[in-house]
């Protein structure tokens, strides 16, 4: 894409280490204005560390980082444009939801009280109950309400829906989409629950072990892998020379997933060989790319 | 939504189906990009790509400030295009499956005739 706009986030060689552990290993990253990003990966992949770096909560050990054109840490003009909804946000012991929602507008210049009020209603959030006594879902609702009503130009949601029931999650997705359509901004959704959110995302960044495995538009990722199943010999000859990312088998039957889509001619060829072709969902693709099955197989081979 | 294919293509195909089946008559207004996004719970940019594809194909056209409308002649064009793809997408898989099950061409045409006349 030939976009001349300055990216909201630009990182190169970004590194974060904790002692001998490299949490973020020299990543390059660019977030453009007014898009919804999915920051995906397994637990411990480095998603939260990346967001803490981008929001100036921790300092990088190497590389360059610009958010709205500047280093994020300690720059008020940058931080006032960022909202970070952490997975397990801590609040003062005596706090009630109303205290959170009364203080939030002080931090976010674009705060919409109207939207906050509607969301409080839809999530049925008890404003006067001590936060300590809220259910996990109600606690998540507090974060979701602040994150959406902040209308911050760069909003991060880190696993925002823990404990939210199906109705509340749907409310979150619907409100996110409609408010984003009316008030475009850059939104980063971090999650390991991929199936539910995959359709909301315009661009996907897949992180594994502190590195970026995929950084592409969601529509390019979807359909970028294919699973072919049939007799072992036929399958193996069909996938020869392809980038195999997953293998399953039982007896003389095999099922192999590889990167790349097939054109009509190749599909016909597969059918004529008696092979079955199956779609690979985004979630399945990510399981294959970040799962243990391949590395285990490599160890067997070597 | 089918997980294996780009969503914008699926959005475009759904609108095409609505036009072919008469649910969206020629010169009628189609929903806005944001309405598609909200209804299907998809990213508005993705919905926009689907709509743009239809505009490029001449299936719909934009009236500035008003919305998007089905082009006159769009239905005939879409039907014609789907017909040329029919052999590849439907007839050939049918023949492959029939061959696998040992159904002869005569038996197959008998089956099509029977199915075609049953209510």
Is the domain of B62 the same as that of B40?
Answer: yes
Residue B113 domain flag: yes
Is the domain of B104 the same as that of B48?
Answer: no
Give the separation between CA A177 and CA B108, rounded to whole angstroms: 49
Is the domain of B68 the same as that of B22?
Answer: yes
Is the domain of B95 the same as that of B40?
Answer: no
Residue B1 domain flag: no
Is the domain of B89 the same as that of B70?
Answer: no
pLDDT at position A299 is 36
Is the domain of B69 the same as that of B89?
Answer: no
Is the domain of B29 the same as that of B63?
Answer: yes
Across the interface, whether the CB atoms of A279 and B5 are under 8 A apart is answered yes
pLDDT at position A29 is 96
Is the domain of B32 the same as that of B90?
Answer: no
Residue B23 domain flag: yes
Least Cα distance to A28 among A58, A62, A52, A55 occurs for: A62
Q: Where are the domains of chain A?
A: 9-220, 225-301
Q: Which residues contact A262 (CB under 8 A, 6 or more apart)?
A: A226, A270, A277
Range of the domain at B97: 85-117
Is the domain of B59 the same as that of B106?
Answer: no
Q: Which residues contact A127 (CB under 8 A, 6 or more apart)?
A: A96, A97, A98, A101, A120
* Least CB–CB distance from A200: residue in B42, B92, B96: B42
| Total of domains in chain B | 2
Q: How far is B109 from chain A (nearest CA, A)?
A: 21
Q: Which residue has the tokens 């404003």?
A: A127
Is the domain of B68 the same as that of B89?
Answer: no
* Least CB–CB distance from B43: residue in A36, A174, A220: A36
Measured CA to CA in angstroms, residue A13 lies from A51, A60, A236 at distances of: 15, 10, 38
SS3 content of chain B, % helix, strand, coil (to 5): 65, 10, 30
Across the interface, whether the CB atoms of A282 and B42 are under 8 A apart is answered no
pLDDT at position B119 is 62
pLDDT digits (tens, 9 = 90+) for B44-66: 999 999 999 999 999 999 999 89
Indicate the SS3 state at residue B28: coil
pLDDT digits (tens, 9 = 90+) for B7-41: 899 999 999 999 999 999 999 999 999 999 999 99
Question: Chain B residue closest to A34 (CA)?
Answer: B45
**Averaged pLDDT, groups of 10, chain A, 302 residues long:** 72 96 95 96 92 94 94 87 90 90 94 97 95 92 96 95 90 95 96 86 94 91 88 92 90 90 84 86 86 47 33
Q: Which architecture characterizes domain A9-220 according to CATH?
A: 3-Layer(aba) Sandwich (3.40)
| CATH number assigned to the domain covering A225-301 | 3.30.70
């Amino acid at each position: 894409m030939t976009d001349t706009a300055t990216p909201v986030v630009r990182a190169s060689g970004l590194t974060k280490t904790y002692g001998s552990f490299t949490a973020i290993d020299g990543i390059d990253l660019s977030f453009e204005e007014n898009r919804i990003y999915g920051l995906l990966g397994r637990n411990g992949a480095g998603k939260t560390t990346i967001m803490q770096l981008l929001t100036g909560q921790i300092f990088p050990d190497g590389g360059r980082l610009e958010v709205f054109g500047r280093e994020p840490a300690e720059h008020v003009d940058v931080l006032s444009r960022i909202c970070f909804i952490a997975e397990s946000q801590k609040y003062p012991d005596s706090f009630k939801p109303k205290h959170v929602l009364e203080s939030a507008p002080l931090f976010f210049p674009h705060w919409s009280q109207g939207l906050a009020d509607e969301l409080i209603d839809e999530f049925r959030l008890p404003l006067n109950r001590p936060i300590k006594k809220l259910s996990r879902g109600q606690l998540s609702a507090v974060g979701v309400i602040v994150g959406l009503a902040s209308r911050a130009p760069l909003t991060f949601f880190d696993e925002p829906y823990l404990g939210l029931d199906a109705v509340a999650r749907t409310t979150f997705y619907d409100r996110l989409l409609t408010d984003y359509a009316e008030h475009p901004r850059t939104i980063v959704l971090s999650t390991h629950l991929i199936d539910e959110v995959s359709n909301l995302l315009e661009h996907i960044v897949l992180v594994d072990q502190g590195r970026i495995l995929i950084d592409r538009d969601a529509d390019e990722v979807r359909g970028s892998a294919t699973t072919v199943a049939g007799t072992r010999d036929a399958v193996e000859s069909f996938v020869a020379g392809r980038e195999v990312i997953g293998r399953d088998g039982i007896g003389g039957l095999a099922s192999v997933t590889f990167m790349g889509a097939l054109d009509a001619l190749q599909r016909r060829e597969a059918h004529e060989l008696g092979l079955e072709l199956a779609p690979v969902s985004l979630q399945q693709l990510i399981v294959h790319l970040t799962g243990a099955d391949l590395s285990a197989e490599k160890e067997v081979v070597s | 939504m089918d997980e294996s294919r780009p969503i914008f293509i699926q959005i475009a195909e759904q609108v095409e189906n609505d036009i072919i089946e008469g649910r969206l008559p020629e010169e009628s207004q189609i929903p806005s990009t944001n309405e598609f996004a909200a209804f299907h719970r998809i990213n508005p940019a993705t919905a926009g790509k689907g709509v743009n594809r239809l505009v490029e194909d001449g299936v719909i056209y934009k009236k500035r400030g008003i919305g998007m409308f089905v082009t006159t002649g769009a239905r005939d064009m879409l039907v014609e295009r789907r017909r040329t793809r029919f052999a590849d997408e439907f007839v050939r898989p049918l023949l492959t499956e029939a061959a696998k099950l040992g159904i002869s061409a005569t038996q197959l045409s008998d089956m099509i005739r029977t199915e075609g006349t049953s209510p």
